[in-house]
Structure 1
Amino acid sequence: MQNLKISVVTVVFNAQNTIEKCLGSVARQKFNNIEHIVIDGGSTDNTVHIIKKYSNSVHVFVSEPDEGIYDAMNKGIKLATGDIIGTLNADDYLANDEVLNDIAAAFASQETDVLYGDLDFIDPDGNIVRKWRSGAYKYGKFNWGWMPPHPTFYCKRTLFERLGGYRLDYGSAADYELMLRFLHANKMSVFYLQKVIVKMYIGGVSNKNLINRVKALRFDLKAMRNNDILFPFITVVYKPLRKIMQFF
């Protein structure tokens, strides 16, 4: 298991209030073979200063303008040398110090291409406000609006080489489109790790206002049409409805 190397890509821009919790959660991992790559978009607050405090656990640091979160993720993926790659955004943190141990063990024992787990949405005080429990994957679930939590999505680096990275032309749905492409359109093998992997602070650009929400739905529909979803206009309705159960 320790022969596996996991690359964690963190993208950040002006996140001085949350980046330290994110970096610390990686630095405290008990799994030893980690490559932490941090791609900063040219922050103007205290973010870069905080990142430099973690020079012992941040192995690659780039700070330069980019074309947004998914462009930054692609930069990090291209720099990654790990067998497995996952992303951890500046507003997220690993749920405990065994997360990467658990992920490595699952990849070693299950011979899978992709892994995902569970996620908790939390408020600024750390209280859980939503629980994302996707359950085990079965081919066809994407047709019913299902998707795994992207911050818990880890896959073999070779998949990015074969199937490509995040498509910027899908806007806020670039992560959804990539998971659709990998799991649904290309039928990569997948394992569900039934544990909370990531804690995520509530919010999100695509949900800030009605205009952004409409744009997000259009990008979702485009992703569905181009990745073999059977009935995209039905699926695009089911997808947001699934979030309701996360509050219970």
Structure 2
Amino acid sequence: MKNQLKPLITIITVCYNAALTLEQTIRSVIYQTYDNIEYIIIDGGSDDGTQGIISKYDDNIAYWISEPDDGIYDAMNKGLSAGNGDYYYFLGADDVLIDSCIIERIITENSFNNCFDVIYGKVVYDNNKMFISSLGLKSLVLNTLHHQSALYSKSFFNNFKYDQKYKVIADYELTLRVFTGKYSCLKIDELIAMCSSGGISSTSNDIVNYIDAYKIRASYVNNVINIILLIIGVANSVYKNKMQCKCINIKTIL
């Protein structure tokens, strides 16, 4: 039976050869003051000592497995299948929860109740840049709901699994589902996690990501609008790259 006062929060970390960073991620979860957390780790068959680190905290981990997978979203789907929580949260193997009380604050200090499908806030990167998640028209162009800033209700995943053919932005479909669907959302003024600035999305090709976003959007908007959004996205990527080149040139001159 669902505990209305203390919902079970399932936190999922997927990893592969994450021995350098995983321990701090684990510690940020298991030392939370909130006492109704189910922690799941899905390892892709690491060969760098990652399993040894996980085993060290075996008593604090509800479920973990180490086996080859078909990429990050396959591993995330495995985590969803293994979980029992009322809400699900994904924490990268090189990310940490912002402090030991953050989950408790989300539950107790933000008018939280189990009627919300999505609860979202902010994250900060290790280069001090902040990502403030939002939902709006911009969500149709790119992902405005950072994965590490959001908790999703269990019911949200009843008819959803990550599409493994998208290697980098399959989680963008979650944002589209939230924005275009009739879901109840709670935006909170909380910094939830510190994230690595060197994640998979930061090293991927922007143009390829916008094309993948176009394919994902096909189920949510009509084709004319989708083409316009693709053009906007690609133009934004080109402009951003030009501005980065200008900054590099200026620094070189100085």
TM-score by length of 2: 0.83
Q: How far apart are the structure 1 equivalents of 2:176 and 2:147? A: 11
Tell me what 1:118 maps to. Answer: 122
Alpha-carbon spacing, 1:35–1:147, altered in 2? closer, same or farther (3 Å): same
Tell me what 2:130 maps to. Answer: 131
User: Is the counterpart of residue 42 in structure 1 residue 45 in structure 2?
Assistant: yes
Q: Give the AA of the match of 2:148.
A: P
Tell me what 2:229 maps to. Answer: 232
Tell me what 1:178 maps to. Answer: 174
Structure 1 alignment gaps of length 5 or more:
none
User: Is the counterpart of residue 31 in structure 1 residue 34 in structure 2?
Assistant: yes
Q: Give the AA of the match of 2:95.
A: D
Q: Residues 128-186 of structure 1, C-alpha deviation per residue, up to 9 Å, x if partnerless? A: 2x111235x35x4423546111112211111101x3121112331101112212x1232
User: Is the counterpart of residue 190 in structure 1 residue 185 in structure 2?
Assistant: yes
Tell me what 1:16 maps to. Answer: 19
Alpha-carbon spacing, 1:238–1:24, altered in 2? closer, same or farther (3 Å): farther
Alignment match of 1:201 (pick from 187, 196, 199): 196
CA contact (8 A) 1:41 1:63 kept: yes
CA contact (8 A) 2:210 2:230 kept: no
Instruction: Compute the displacement of 1:50 (Å).
Output: 0.7
Q: How far apart are the structure 2 equivalents of 1:116 and 1:60? A: 25
CA contact (8 A) 2:140 2:176 kept: no
The 3-state SS of whatever aligns with 1:32 is coil
User: Is the counterpart of residue 222 in structure 1 residue 212 in structure 2?
Assistant: no
| Structure whose CA Rg is larger | 2
Moved more, 18-27 or 168-177: 168-177
Alpha-carbon spacing, 1:238–1:64, altered in 2? closer, same or farther (3 Å): same
Alpha-carbon spacing, 1:144–1:61, altered in 2? closer, same or farther (3 Å): closer
Q: How far apart are the structure 1 equivalents of 2:143 and 2:43? A: 31
Instruction: Compute the displacement of 1:203 (Å).
Output: 1.2
Alignment match of 2:144 (pick from 142, 147, 164): 147
Tell me what 1:92 maps to. Answer: 95
Q: How far apart are the structure 2 equivalents of 1:144 and 1:74? A: 25
Q: Residues 55-103 of structure 1, C-alpha deviation per residue, up to 9 Å, x if partnerless? A: 1211101111101111000000011001111111101110011111123
Moved more, 94-103 or 62-71: 94-103
Q: How far apart are the structure 1 equivalents of 2:167 and 2:9? A: 27
The 3-state SS of whatever aligns with 2:13 is strand
TM-score by length of 1: 0.84
Instruction: Give % identity.
Output: 31
Alpha-carbon spacing, 1:118–1:206, altered in 2? closer, same or farther (3 Å): closer
Equivalent pairs counted in the alignment come to 232
Q: Give the AA of the match of 1:66.
A: D
